[in-house]
Structure 1
Amino acid sequence: MNKQVPAFAFAGWITCILAIGILVEPVVSAELINLKLGYSVWVGYGPLFIARDKGYFKEEGLNVELIKAEDPKNRFAALAAGQLDGLVSTLDTMTLYWKPETPFVAILGLDDSSGGDGILVKKEINAFEDLKGKTVAVNVGSVSHFFLSYLLQQNGMSDADLKLHKMSQGDAAAAIVAGRVDAAVTWQPHLSKAAKEPNVKLLITSKETPGLIADVLILHRGVLAGNPEVGYRLVRAWNKSIEYYKANPDDAAAIMAKGLGGFYEKPEDIKADLAGATLYDKERNAQFFNGSGPGTALATVKFAIDLWTQLGQISAPIKPEDLVDATYLEK
């Protein structure tokens, strides 16, 4: 984390104002803290571009560079190498990359999937239990696998009850449409597009599992140790962005579409995906971080650690409390 030193400073206070009894707050330094944050193209990360383009980061004394890196493995590798100060990802994914020698922590919830992830099936499949023995396309080790595993556990099943075919979310949707698999775990926009096909239907979506698939803002603990104010400032900038989105949804969607790019070609694409996602404001973050029941950050992290450990994805023990920190939330 680097700092940009201002080229000027104020010489003093305006004493005449003080003389008439008006209190003057200290002058805020023009010094900006430089931060590099990694992201991928997803509507839940869109408010970061509102914070950038509306000047909310600058208002908080931050100069934030948003760096696109679609593969979470590359984002976390860059964080460990000191090439990034932080990143955005899902809670379950961050548990796969946490190590004592490269500690990082989630300080803010950004959004959760409330219909943006789901399972597509052939028309003849009517219940989750009907998937037993069936061929299911899923990106193994991804958030889609996490979603599927949670549902399997809830229904007294496991991966062993299915015939898993490893493929990307886009390929999984194409496979179910082509009839090559019985079911596919995927996300938007593939979910809605494939569900329109006559031989395919939606079995279940993340709307029925609130808080399970949640995106968070993650910072390296070294960044916070060097300047704890960074956490508070990022949170305030995010909250301003969410309030701007609430008050100006059309302009906010245009800013997010332009910033994110990728498959978001126009504001309407943003609005469509927001139908399957819940953006986190100050109140929702308070609920998400300050508790341990279903749908909270701690509960989701604990489940993810247990699940990935069972599946052999995590070998070293991890404490859920090491991965989430509510300290920086705006009161």
Structure 2
Amino acid sequence: MSNLDFTMSRRSLLAGLAGLGLAATGLAGCGGGNEDKPAGSTPAKAESSYDPVTLKVAYMPNLGSAGSLFAAIDQGYFEEVGITVEPQQFQKGPAEITALQSGDIDIAQIGHGAHSLCIQGEAKIFAFDQLSKADAVVANKAKGIEKAADLKGKTVGVAAGTSSEIILQYVLEDAGLTKDDVTLTEMDVSGMTTALISGQIDAAATWSPATVTLEQELGDDYLVLGTNVDYSDKVAFPGSYICAVDYAEKNSEILARFGAAIIKAHIYRAEHTEDLAKMLAKELELPEDTLVASVGEGDWEGAVEADKDVETVKGYYEAQQKVFLDGGAIDAEVPVEDYVLVDVMTDAQKVYADIK
């Protein structure tokens, strides 16, 4: 079913997992019994001899954040590794990290911006999810904005600490402006959408699927001033699954299992993106046409390829850290291995080899 090329024998797999405390009985009956089903269908219940665990997992209501999580739930991939997921919806990554630290959730999916908090030691990254193409700085042309330089003196909605704020920094820099040249208004994404449509603000640093709604509502007055793709030569914008520092220290085996299910979900997401968007629209009670229109917000195929090579993934986080350094979000360079659990990613590949 999968196009990932893992050929490790069962004997070498068991030897490799022995150091993790994964007993042979934990692998029995977990392999390959669940074919991909159309999103929204009910796959046959997966058999698993892994110790069962229930995890509260945070996501944000868009395809880039929720796609792999709900694909793995819908297709039964978590069941194959003994995990039951209780999804918890959030609006921003920093709020997810606060919930991790308080113990309200166990795992969270975050976008680019919140990774700066991981670099500062507030959480650990244990699974790569995708490179985002969802963020954009958009404007209402009716407010006299035809180009980025026209933002001078305008009011711009922004959610501090998000990846879209990074795009805004680049857009302003390219236009010869700084944040002091605009009036920044702190808002969540739904507030920005309403405010830009109603004319309360002039522009917004936002992300999909809000960008789809804005384009539909503003029509010919909708103007895109910059996106992730425009700055792909300068930075990678990874999305990741993270956990609290103390949780990582005690639960590396569970994190490897979770990561294996996500690797499998990446393949499904890349091959059935539109079906997944339709299913997600029902789950999140969002307009189906909006989610379907946002299928290009991530590099889905690239995620499948990256899952084969931990060194590639490390390179994404190194490039990301440079952006935070250049933008002043962090003060000093930190070794990627200090906050990215490379060993867990490698172990997840081994578990995936058994369940694929």
The normalised TM-score by structure 1 is 0.74
Deviations 1:159-211 (A, max 9, x none): 11223233333343444444444432222333233334333322222332346
- Which amino acid in structure 2 is aligned with residue 41 of structure 1? P
Q: Distance in 2 between matches of 1:285 and 1:305?
A: 26
Displacement after TM superposition at 1:55 (Å):
1.5
Q: Distance in 2 between matches of 1:137 and 1:174?
A: 11
Displacement after TM superposition at 1:273 (Å):
1.5
- SS of the residue corresponding to residue 283 of structure 1 reads helix
Which segment drifts farther, 74-83 or 246-255? Answer: 246-255
Partner of 2:257: 233
Corresponding position: 1:87 with 2:112: no
- Which amino acid in structure 2 is aligned with residue 107 of structure 1? F
Taking the TM superposition and a 5 Å limit, the aligned residue runs for 1:1-331 are: 28=28, 29-44=49-64, 45-96=66-117, 100=121, 103-122=122-141, 124-195=144-215, 196-210=218-232, 212-249=236-273, 251-259=275-283, 261-262=284-285, 264-266=286-288, 268-279=289-300, 281-285=303-307, 290=312, 296-304=316-324, 307-309=327-329, 319=334, 321=336, 322-327=338-343, 328-329=345-346, 330=349
Deviations 1:89-109 (A, max 9, x none): 123214247665xx5211222
- SS of the residue corresponding to residue 145 of structure 2 reads coil
| Alpha carbons of structure 1 residues 199 and 270: separation in structure 2 relative to 1, 3 Å | closer
Displacement after TM superposition at 1:80 (Å):
0.9
Displacement after TM superposition at 1:121 (Å):
4.1
Contact persistence 2:56–2:87 (CA under 8 A): yes
- Which amino acid in structure 1 is aligned with residue 180 of structure 2? A
- Which amino acid in structure 2 is aligned with residue 92 of structure 1? G
Contact persistence 1:133–1:163 (CA under 8 A): yes
Contact persistence 1:46–1:256 (CA under 8 A): yes
- Which amino acid in structure 1 is aligned with residue 239 of structure 2? D
Deviations 1:211-258 (A, max 9, x none): 644321002233333242223222221121122234444543343333
| Alpha carbons of structure 1 residues 289 and 127: separation in structure 2 relative to 1, 3 Å | farther
| Alpha carbons of structure 1 residues 232 and 282: separation in structure 2 relative to 1, 3 Å | farther
Greater helix content: 2
Aligned residues with identical type, % of pairs: 25
Q: Distance in 1 between matches of 2:259 and 2:152?
A: 44
| Alpha carbons of structure 1 residues 288 and 199: separation in structure 2 relative to 1, 3 Å | farther
Displacement after TM superposition at 1:135 (Å):
3.2
Contact persistence 1:104–1:221 (CA under 8 A): yes
Displacement after TM superposition at 1:306 (Å):
5.1
Q: Distance in 2 between matches of 1:114 and 1:198?
A: 22
Displacement after TM superposition at 1:320 (Å):
5.4
Q: Distance in 1 between matches of 2:334 and 2:265?
A: 32
| Alpha carbons of structure 1 residues 286 and 304: separation in structure 2 relative to 1, 3 Å | farther
Displacement after TM superposition at 1:87 (Å):
0.9
Q: Distance in 1 between matches of 2:290 and 2:150?
A: 33
| Alpha carbons of structure 1 residues 286 and 298: separation in structure 2 relative to 1, 3 Å | farther
- Which amino acid in structure 2 is aligned with residue 193 of structure 1? T
Greater strand content: 1
Q: Distance in 1 between matches of 2:189 and 2:209?
A: 10
Q: Distance in 2 between matches of 1:120 and 1:285?
A: 36
Q: How many residues align?
A: 295
Displacement after TM superposition at 1:115 (Å):
4.4
Contact persistence 1:60–1:233 (CA under 8 A): yes
Displacement after TM superposition at 1:59 (Å):
0.9
- SS of the residue corresponding to residue 203 of structure 1 reads strand
* Greater C-alpha radius of gyration: 1
| Alpha carbons of structure 1 residues 194 and 302: separation in structure 2 relative to 1, 3 Å | same
- Which amino acid in structure 2 is aligned with residue 114 of structure 1? K
Contact persistence 2:137–2:203 (CA under 8 A): no
Q: Distance in 2 between matches of 1:302 and 1:183?
A: 27
Q: Distance in 2 between matches of 1:297 and 1:291?
A: 7
- Which amino acid in structure 1 is aligned with residue 105 of structure 2? L
Contact persistence 1:170–1:186 (CA under 8 A): no
Contact persistence 2:94–2:161 (CA under 8 A): no
Contact persistence 1:114–1:208 (CA under 8 A): no
The normalised TM-score by structure 2 is 0.69
